Structure 1
Amino acid sequence: MNRIVTSISLSLDGFFEGPDQDIDWHTVDEELHQHFNDYLRTMGGFVEGRVTYELMEEFWPTADEDPANEGPMAEFAGIWREMPKFVFSRTLESVGPNATLLHEVDPEQVRELREAASGDLVVGGAGLLESFRRHDLIDEYRIYLHPVILGRGRPFFRDAEERQMLRLIETRTFGNGVVLLRYETVRAS
C-alpha cells in the first residue's frame, strides 16, 4: 500500500523557516541533495500547497538549463518536471504541466490519490501538512534536523488536539551534520 510521507528540514529548535520566512540556513550539500534525489525519484507524486508549488515551479522546471546548476541540482530538475504534482489551493485557477489542481483537503479523495499513485506521495507546505496531520493522513515523517538554532521563526508542529504516537524506523547522519529522523505513524488497531 502506498504511503503519504512528509519530508521537512527543521532547525534544532523546531523551526522550518526563519523569522522572515528564510530557509538559507538549510545545510544542503551534494551528499544530502543526492539522498533527496534518490528517494524522491521513487515517489508517485508531489502533494503541495500553493506557496510551495509556486516556489518550486519558479525555479526547478528549467534549473538544469543553467550551467551553474550541475550534479544533483540538475538531476532534481528532471525529477521535478516528470513527477506528477497535486496542488491544493483555494486561490489558484490553473497549474502547470503534469499538475492537478485540488481546492479542498478531502480525506477520502486524498486516500484515493494515494492508492492510485505509482508509489508513495510526498507532501509539502506548512499549512497543507498541518491539514493532513489533523486528518491523520500522514503515514511517515522524514525530519531532517539541521545543525542550527534559529531562536525564532515558524515552528513545524503546532498545537495538536490529540497525541500522535510515532515509531522510529531509521536514523542517518550526513557529513554536513544534518540528521535524518524517520518515523512512521502508529495507529490504533
Structure 2
Amino acid sequence: MMRTVTFGMNVTLDGYIAAPGDDLGWSGGDGPDSSPGDELFQWWSDRVAATDLALYGRKVWEGMSSHWPTADRRPGATTAEIEYARRWRDMPKVVFSSTVDTVDGNTRLVAGDAVPEITRLKTEGTGRMDIVGATLAGAAMRAGLIDEYLLVTHPVLVGGGTPFFTVLDSWVKLTLVETRTFPGGVLLTRYETRR
C-alpha cells in the first residue's frame, strides 16, 4: 500500500485558486458576503484532522503559518476556529521551499527538488497525503504523482490569477467519485486518477 496523494483547494468557477495579486477574498473572510460558511469550514477542518501528512508550497505555507499556529488564542476566536487551529498544528507538514529559512512545530523543511521527495513520501506509508499550493501541485501533476483531485468550486469568476491546473504534457483521465453541494452554491467534486 502507498499513501494517496490528493490535491485539493478552493477554486473559482473559471479555474483559479487565487485572483490576480494573490487575492483570496472570493473564497471567504474578506467581506460580509464572502464567508465560506460554517458547513464548508467544518468540512475543511475535518479534512485536516484526517490528513496524515500535508505538503505545502511556500506561498500557501506563509499564509497559513502566519495565522493558524496561534488562531485559537486570539480574542473572539470561534469554537470552529479553535478546533481548526489545533488540528492544523497537530497535522504533520512538509514545506517545500528554497527561500524559507526555518519552520516550527510539527513541520519539516525540504529545500531540494520536490518530485523525488514526494515520491519517497508516497511510498513510505499509508493514509492520505494532501498537497497544498499550485506550484507544488503542478510539479506533482507533471510527474503523475496525484491520485485524487478535489475541487471546492465557488460560484464566482475572477478572470485570471493562479490556475488550479498546470499545463500538462499528456492527458490525465479521471473518474468522478464524489460530489457535494454546500450553502451558497459551492460545489465539491472529487476525482480519482485512472491508472
Give the distance between the partners of 1:54 and 1:118, measured in 2 at CA. 27
Give the distance between the partners of 2:144 and 2:112, measured in 1 at CA. 15
**Pair 1:38–1:94, CA change in 2 (3 A):** same
| Structure 1: unaligned runs, 5 residues or longer | none
Q: Which residue of 1 aligns with 2:156?
A: 148
Give the distance between the partners of 2:45 and 2:114, measured in 1 at CA. 29
Q: Deviation per CA, 1:135-187, whole angstroms, max 9, x where unpaired?
A: 11111111011011112222222321110001100000012211001001112
* 108-117 or 11-20: bigger deviation: 108-117
Normalised TM-score (structure 2)? 0.90
Amino acid at match of 2:69: P
SS in 1 for 2:54: strand
Aligned length: 187
Is 1:4–1:140's contact at 8 Å kept on the other side of the alignment?
A: yes
Q: Deviation per CA, 1:8-36, whole angstroms, max 9, x where unpaired?
A: 11111111111121011014111001011
* 177-186 or 157-166: bigger deviation: 157-166
Is 2:134–2:163's contact at 8 Å kept on the other side of the alignment?
A: no
Amino acid at match of 2:77: N
| Structure 2: unaligned runs, 5 residues or longer | 29-35
Identity of aligned residues (%): 37
Normalised TM-score (structure 1)? 0.92
Alignment of 1:67 with 2:75, yes or no, is: yes
Q: Which residue of 1 aligns with 2:20?
A: 19
Q: Which residue of 2 aligns with 1:112?
A: 120
The 5 A counterparts of 1:57-136 are 57-117=65-125, 119-136=127-144
Q: Deviation per CA, 1:97-133, whole angstroms, max 9, x where unpaired?
A: 1111112335443233234456311111111010111
Q: What displacement does 1:2 show? A: 2.0
